[in-house]
Amino acid sequence: MGLNRLIPMQPVASMPASVEFYEKLGFSVENRNDEWGWAMLRCGDHRLMVDQSINLHPGIPRTSVLYLYPENLQDFHKRARENGLDIPEVDDTFYDMTEFRIEDPDGNRLWIGQAR
């Protein structure tokens, strides 16, 4: 038994606001359903779903962490800032990564880095 692929689904309060945020990180909309409040986003070969219907179910955790590995961290960092996101400085970690951390509009955490 194996998997063909794994696509994270982020719980969001507003799919349109989340789409706008992730577009500033270089994602594009592959599929979108405004009636459901759901969208499939794509960045290269990678996909991410955002879904506001998850918030309709009480007791389900609302935050997660995605670790993104861009091809070039410095370029990715620069582009995100140029696109208007409030991005902290890049930092070296004790676990041999260079990274920065941000949150999407719903508090889902994004750690973005590359090996030193």
What is the domain-level CATH number for residue 21?
3.10.180.10
Range of the domain at 32: 9-56+63-115
| Residue 70 belongs to a domain | yes
Section 107-114 average pLDDT: 90
- Residue 42 placed within a domain: yes
Query: Does any domain span residue 36?
Result: yes
CB distance 75 to 95 below 8 Å: no
Residue 2 lies inside a defined structural domain of this protein: no
Q: Are 64 and 8 in contact (CB under 8 A)?
A: yes
37: left (phi over 0), alpha (psi -120 to 50) or beta: left
Q: Per-residue confidence at 108, pLDDT binned at 50, 70, 90?
A: confident
pLDDT digits (tens, 9 = 90+) for 54-103: 766 666 666 678 899 999 999 999 999 999 999 999 999 998 999 999 99
- CA separation, residue 73 to residues 7, 26, 78, 97 (Å): 22, 13, 9, 11
Task: Tell the residue number behind the tokens 């509009």, with chain if given.
Answer: 105
Measured from the Cβ of residue 101, the count of other Cβ atoms closer than 10 Å reads 15
